[in-house]
């Protein structure tokens, strides 16, 4: 029974993560995303996986941990992609501002 409840918890989280990754990707910006939060969640999943392996309690629940870790890792990749897009937009805006100042002179 404990494994079933643990799996249910992981499935609930597992349903949420793909939605978060999709929304982050579609937003195209890292604003509102938190790298420390993503890393903290990843550490939690790594701890859960390590605990399962060290206790010798390797079962189907481990698969849910691994899938969730992979999805959250994808969110981290999306974070860096979005941060790159933010920087490109900022540089483009700076370039336009410099060009506008040069045209006024």
| Per-residue pLDDT at 100 exceeds 80 | no
Beta strands in 4-97 (DSSP E): none
Domain count for the chain:
1
How far apart are alpha carbons 99 and 58 in whole angstroms? Answer: 61
Q: Cβ of 8: how many Cβ atoms within 10 Å?
A: 11
Confidence of residue 102 (pLDDT cuts 50, 70, 90): low
- Residue-number span of the structural domain to which 70 is assigned: 2-104
Per-residue pLDDT tens digits for 29-61: 999 999 999 999 999 999 999 999 999 988 888
3-state DSSP helix/strand/coil percent for the chain, to nearest 5? 90, 0, 10
pTM, rounded to two decimals:
0.82
How far apart are alpha carbons 9 and 13 in whole angstroms? Answer: 6
Q: What is the CATH number of the domain that holds 34?
A: 1.20.1280.290
């Amino acid at each position: 029974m404990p494994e079933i409840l643990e799996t249910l918890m992981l499935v609930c989280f597992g349903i949420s993560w793909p939605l978060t990754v999709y929304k982050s990707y579609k937003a195209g910006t890292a604003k509102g995303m938190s790298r420390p939060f993503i890393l903290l969640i990843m550490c939690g999943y790594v701890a859960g996986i390590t605990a399962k392996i060290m206790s010798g309690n390797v079962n189907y629940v481990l698969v849910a941990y691994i899938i969730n870790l992979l999805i959250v890792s994808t969110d981290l990749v999306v974070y860096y992609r979005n941060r790159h897009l933010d920087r490109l937009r900022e540089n483009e805006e700076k370039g336009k501002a410099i060009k506008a100042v040069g045209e006024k002179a």
